[in-house]
Every structure is written in C-alpha cells, then in structure tokens.
Amino acid sequence: MRVVLSGGGTGGHIYPALAVASQCAKEFPGSEFLYIGGKRGLESSIVPQQGIPFEAIEITGFRRKLSFDNVKTVMRFLKGVQTSKKLLKEFKPDVVIGTGGYVCGPVVYAAAKLGIPSIIHEQNAIPGLTNRFLSKYASTVAVSFEGSEKAFPAARNVIYTGNPRATTVYAADKQRGFESLGLPSSSSVVLVVGGSQGARAINQAMVEMAPLLKQSEHLKFVYVTGDRYYASTVEAISAKLGELPANLQVLPYVHNMPEVLACTSLIVNRAGASFLAEITALGIPAILIPSPNVTNNHQEKNARALESAGAAEVILEPELTGQSLYASIERVMSDLRRHSAMSTASRALGKPDSAHLIVGEMERLVKHQ
C-alpha cells in the first residue's frame, strides 16, 4: 500500500500518524510512505529519524481575530495545495491520512480534488478548525472519543477508532520501564509529566509538594520536567530540602515513554489527546491538569470525558497547589478499591487496536475507490 501521511506542529499530531504507518507496515509488508509536514513543526525533525521520506510545505494557521495575516494564510494555503498536488501526483498514493495540525489542510484538500481516498483523524473531544473544514472533503473522519461523531455533521462517513498511539503503547515492555528508572519491579510509580516542553504550573506544584513526599515513602515519584525546567526544579527542591527526597527522581525528558508508562501506577499530566489514548490503553488511573492555553479549551473537555467515566480526577490550574496535588495522589494511591476502579474505568475507554481499525478503513477505501 502507498500512503501519504500528514500531521504536524506537536507530537500529539505526529505520533498517531507514525503509529498508523507502523501498523500499516505490519499488515501490508512492503508498504511505502511519504510524510508531508510543515517546515517549522516538530515533524521536520521527528519523521526523518523514523526513516520515512519527508517533504515540507509552508503553512500557518488562521488567527481568530481579524488580521491581515489571515490573507497571507489563505495565500499560503493555496500555494500549499499546489505543492501538495504536485507531490501527490509524483508519489501516487492509494490513500492519504491526516492526523491534525494546519499542514493537513492543503494536503487532504488536494487529495480530495485529485480523487484520492483520504482519512482525517481527530484526537480531541472538540474538533479543531482544520479538521472541521476537511470533514466536508475527506472520505472518512475517524474520532478518538466515542460520541464525538456528531461534531462532524457534514462528513460523509464518521467512525470511532480511538487514537492509534494507543496501539504503540499497549505493546510496551513493563519490565524495561522499571529497569530504565532503576526501580524494583514491585514499585508503585507515580509519574508526573508536564508535557514535552514542560509546564510552569505543574513545576511549581511539584516544588511545593516535595516536602510532603517523605510521608509517602512507599511510593516512587518520577517527575519529567521538560528540558527548560529541569535545572531550576532540581535547584528549587534542593534549596528547600537540602537534597532531593529519596523517593523522587527528576528527569528532563524520557525517551522510552511507552515503557515507563507501562510500569506506572498513577499518572499526573496535562490532558492532551494522544497521552490520554496511551494511558487508557494501559488502564492507568490519572490526575489531569488540563492546559488552559489551548484552542476551544479542548484539554478540559478531554479531561472531563475521563473524569465522567471514573478514570481520572481533574484539577484545574487555578486550583493547583502542592497540597491539592498531594491530596489527590494520596486519595487514589491509599485506597486500593478506588485505584482498581479507576484502572478498570480507564481500560474500558482504551482502544489498543486503534491503529488496526484505521488501517482496516484504509484498506476498505482503497478497495472501493
């Protein structure tokens, strides 16, 4: 199968596309891929590292306020469509997959105009502007949250697949996760992640919470700060306590996140859609602190979906302190029945076969074109 992938800006758009490519390669050996991304997005560095051919186009998003920049965006979109058509004609894909971000706009639109079957995947409970626009042109819209199908009234076909990143994480080796952290396999790990770039509010809460960790010596805390907060976090905690608590590891970044997640008993994190797909595939109870700095407040909508299912507790950023975070962690980890119920609820939301479902839809579209 020949597949064009597009998705960019953040890992939340890129990694699902790569998960689809990996699954497609397993089910259809010999498949060939081309990734069309943005020049400035993370995809320009991440995708080539995976050995997938990469082509870049120039594209930006619309500003929500009236601005002359929107005129420039329209011009870039039209140019992006032209470039995408050229790349698609040269590569001759059987199907095009868009996983979000502005760059998908011209790529999927070009595919529709050329009569090439296409799928767009929406990670969030509330769809973004690009996917709402593309839903009128794509052959199929795949959604991550059951019930969000109704957000695409103009779509020809909408299916619930979950997020393909879940498939990647589901197969991760738990023991290798413990080994990478230098912890016994019997450890109860509380993993705190501020996102790939880190999060100031979570960082402050962790510094405030550090003195309380001696009350929970049976738990192993791992805090992934993001590179920019690593040095300041270690310095702030050490200044407060003299040294880091014995049951706390502070890391700038984790390169084997699927394996670390596999050995995690409780996750504290933002509420990005790809990360939620990963933790529900593994049935990890969560304390979610949605970022308020996202379009349409979609992270809170994502978090509330898990909360209403009993899989997570939610702390909004204005309510986040070291004390409130520690209290929430203790509430979950000190009550085995609560922890077990949250784990069961989380796993019920997971779709570990998500990538397989999307590849199956790709196959269906190719056969019926």
Instruction: Give binding residues for UDP-N-acetyl-alpha-D-glucosamine as ranges.
Output: 10-12, 124, 196, 299
What is the chain's percent helix, strand, coil content, to nearest 5? 50, 15, 35
Q: Which residues contact 361 (CB under 8 A, 6 or more apart)?
A: 119, 140, 142, 159, 161
* Distance between CA atoms of residues 263 and 177, nearest Å: 6
Instruction: Look up residue 222 and give its amino acid.
Output: V
Q: Which residues contact 150 (CB under 8 A, 6 or more apart)?
A: none
Tally of CB atoms within 10 A around 92: 11
Angle at 199 between CA 36 and CA 144, to 5 degrees: 50
Which CA distances in Å does 341 have to 121, 147, 269, 307, 318? 30, 22, 19, 12, 27
Query: Which residues carry a binding-site annotation?
Result: 10-12, 124, 196, 299
Instruction: Look up residue 337 and give its amino acid.
Output: R
Instruction: Look up residue 175 and give its amino acid.
Output: Q
- Token pair for residue 344? 């069961």
Phi, psi of 251, rounded to the nearest 5 degrees: -125, 145
**Buried-exposed string 304-332: b where 16+ CB fall within 10 A, e elsewhere:** bbbbeebbbbbbebeebebeebbebbeeb
